Each structure stands twice: as C-alpha cells, then as structure tokens.
Amino acid sequence: MAHDTAASIIVFDVNETLLDITTLEPLFERVFGDPSVLREWFAQLILYSQTMTLSGLYTPFGELGVGSLRMLASIHGVSIADGDIEELKTRMNTMPAHADVVPALSRLRAAGFRLVTLTNSASASSPTPLERAGIGEFFERSFSVESVRKFKPAPETYRQVAEELRVETSALCLVACHLWDTIGAQAAGCRGALVTRPHNAILPAAEVPIPDVVAAELTDLAEQIVQRWKSPQQPSSG
C-alpha cells in the first residue's frame, strides 16, 4: 500500500482472541454430553447479541450468555440447573490466556505500540478476567460496549475507543479471531488483523473486507504488525 498510515494503537478482542473459551467445554460435556455444543452456544450468543443491536435493543452480554444456554437446553431437551448457570459464569470469568498471548503482547509493547481491549462483555468485575488470566497489566485501557449499548460489530463500538483515546479510527488496529469483528472495525475506519484460531477463517465473498494482517498464531500476527506499522515511539536499540 503506497500510503499505509501507521496504526499506533492495537485494540484486542478478548473472548477467544486472548482468552481460551475451550475451558468451558467440560460444562457442555456434562450438560449436553457433547463438548462441541460450546461452539453452538457461542455462535448463538454472537447471533443474538448482534440481533439485539440491529433491533435497537440491549441486554448485557452475560445475560444473553445465560439465556442462550437455557435456549440450547430447550432445543436439545436437557435440563439446566442453577448450579450450571453459576458454573458458566465462573468459567467465563476465569478463562486462561492462550499460550501465544504473553509473547505477542510483550513484542508489541516492546515495539512501542499502545495496547487496549474492546469486549462485548461487562467490565465491572474485580479482578477482571484479564487480570485473572495474568495479562491485565499489558493494557492501558479496557473498553466495553456497555457505554454505547451496542454490540460489536456496530461502528459505534470502535468509534468510542477512538473518541476516548482522542485519535482517528485510522490509528487503531483491531486484533480478533472473528472475521465479523475485523469487518466491523475496518468498516468503521480501523485496520483489521485476524488470528485464525480453530473454527475461524477468511470469508471469500465479494465486498467482504480482507484483514490487513492475517496469521495462524498471535505471535506471528504481532510480528507482522511490528514490521508493517512500527510505532514512531519505538525505543532505540542503541
């Protein structure tokens, strides 16, 4: 790209991108007899969060998560107990970071990039899921969609980050393992970087924005970001 303005702030999606949602599988194995129902639940959760936003409605992500679990239980003909709901909440708040996260964040921070997060989830808990996972100190800010009451990929969610940080959206690069998230970010004027974790890939269709950077591992993605948009604040090696 001839005029590739450097992205200086890297905005990370949280669930599945940084934190490993497969640690929820034992719950779905026990309740449904099939750990892969986790993927069905997560897909329904994303579908209905986006449906609420498109309909001009809002219910917090955690409540939609519980409701989606109850909905799937009805579909599959199984019973959900209060203890199952509590286990879901506990597991969602204690997901570990993927193995490639700390090395990738360390590389980006060392290169001088500012790091923040943007999640559909609530941000009120203390310690936060990021802190519980041991990666909270990497980020200068953690943004939630709560303030705009719209879920990603609504453009307002990405613009609020730019507005709060007092930069143009072109200064932001959204890192996610969900293409719907990078599509939304790019449509709002940000850059997009896709890490193709299992169950996520490029969508080859007309007019679908291709991410600026794509890699299978977050460490490789971070290196590509550094090579493409080295922050002007990068410390001198001398």
Integer Cα distance of 57 and 149 in angstroms:
8
User: Which tokens is 139 given?
Assistant: 């980020």
Q: In this predicted structure, what is the pLDDT of residue 178?
A: 96
For residue 29, name the pLDDT band (cuts at 50, 70, 90).
very high
The rounded distance, in Å, linking the Cα atoms of 120 and 118 is 7
Q: End of a domain among 58, 77, 93? A: 93
Residues 67, 172, single domain; the answer is: no
Band of the pLDDT at 5, cuts 50, 70, 90? confident
Residues in the chain: 238
**199 part of a folded domain:** yes
Q: Is residue 233 part of a domain?
A: no
DSSP element (H, E) containing 206: none
List the CATH number of the domain containing 105: 3.40.50.1000
Looking at every residue in the chain, the average pLDDT score rounds to: 93
Per-residue pLDDT tens digits for 75-116: 999 999 999 999 999 999 999 999 999 999 999 999 999 999
Assess whether pLDDT exceeds 50 at residue 233: no
Name the more confident of 30 and 124.
Answer: 30
Instruction: Decide if 17 contacts 176 (C-beta within 8 A).
Output: yes
At 122 the pLDDT is 79
Cβ contact 7:229 at 8 Å: yes
> Does the structure show a pLDDT above 80 at 125?
no
- The reported pLDDT for the residue numbered 28 is 98
Query: Which range of residues forms the domain containing residue 195?
Result: 9-19+96-228
| 141 and 203 co-located in one domain | yes
Domain membership of residue 238 (yes or no) is no
CA nearest neighbour of 108 among 202, 22, 198, 18 = 18
Residue 145 shares a structural domain with residue 103:
yes
What are the strands of the beta sheet with 141-144, ordered from one edge? 141-144, 114-119, 9-12, 172-176, 191-195, 213-215
Question: Do residues 73 and 109 share a domain?
Answer: no
DSSP code for 234: P
Residues 48 and 100 in one domain: no
pTM of the shown model: 0.92
Name the pairing type of β-strands 172-176 and 191-195.
parallel
Which residues have C-beta within 8 Å of that of residue 12, sequence separation ≥ 6? 18, 115, 116, 117, 118, 139, 174, 175, 176
Q: Distance (Å, rounded) from C-alpha 218 to C-alpha 99?
A: 9
Rounded to whole angstroms, how far apart are CA atoms 132 and 103? Answer: 17
Residues forming a β-bridge with 176: 194
Percent share of the chain, pLDDT over 70 = 94
Number of domains in the chain: 2
